[in-house]
Amino acid sequence: MPSAILTRSHQENRRLAPVFRRRGFRVFSAPMIELLPIPPDASITQQWLAAGGSRVVLSSAAAAQQWLAALPNLPIPPDSVRYWIVGQRSRDLVQTRFPNSPIEALANSGAELLRQIPPGLAAPAILYPCSSQRRDELVDGLRDRGARVMELPLYRPQLPANAARRLRTAIRGAGVPLCFVFFSPSAVANFISLQPELPHGAIFAAVGSTTAQALRRNGVAEVITPSKPNGALLADAILEAIEQP
């Protein structure tokens, strides 16, 4: 029976664990990241509204959750906000909370979203709820297309206090084949800080290309990725790789 060590936050590992168990994995939780909420900066949202903004870019479920919780407190009808979204889960969160909000673009990655946005974009300010350590690809790509992007940090990722102990316990308890499963570059960086020597024979998997690149930069030659950034598809891809002769 293969073992999977999940490296998301404690809450996200709990949500994802049944997906892996249903596919026959022994699942261990070793959170390499926790997300600390940041209160929205009212000056940023005021500037966005003053500039005629009504479009929001969401590229993470954590940012989507924080944004949707803050939106009713803003002087704008929630259903009037238009969205460009990366990720099915963020889309589901928006549609569940505000089902009449228009979703103008939906993609599986930042690069895919950028391909949907034409150059010479003459749009008002675009608000980007994000991590305090957000990645540059999406924001830079939008700005290259002429967009005025206003970043709104809503959470800060950090290494959990008990991460080293949880990781040691998970590695000791796991059998082989053993797969470390990653969902963000921040979790990769925290893992490497605790485990600079990669466990011999371990398998590494990443939900998307940016996280896979972070693993490769840290010496992981082979990284399993799914056809689309999705936890269930990632679990299937790991099983397929394990079962190959």
Burial 60-77 (b: 16+ CB within 10 A, else e): bbbbbbbbbebbeebeee
Q: What is the pLDDT of residue 118?
A: 72
What is the percent of the chain where pLDDT is above 70? 97
Instruction: Give the chain's mean pLDDT.
Output: 93
Q: Which residues contact 52 (CB under 8 A, 6 or more apart)?
A: 124, 125
pLDDT tens profile 162-221 = 999 999 999 999 999 999 999 999 999 999 999 999 999 999 999 988 899 999 999 999
* CATH T-level topology, domain 3-33+159-243: Rossmann fold (3.40.50)
pLDDT tens profile 43-101 = 999 999 999 888 999 999 999 999 999 999 999 999 999 999 998 899 999 999 999 99
Task: Please answer whether residues 84 and 59 qualify as being in contact, where contact means their C-beta atoms are separated by less than 8 angstroms.
Answer: no
Q: Tell me where in the chain the CATH 3.40.50.10090 domain(s) lie.
A: 3-33+159-243, 37-157
Classify 37-157 by CATH class.
alpha beta
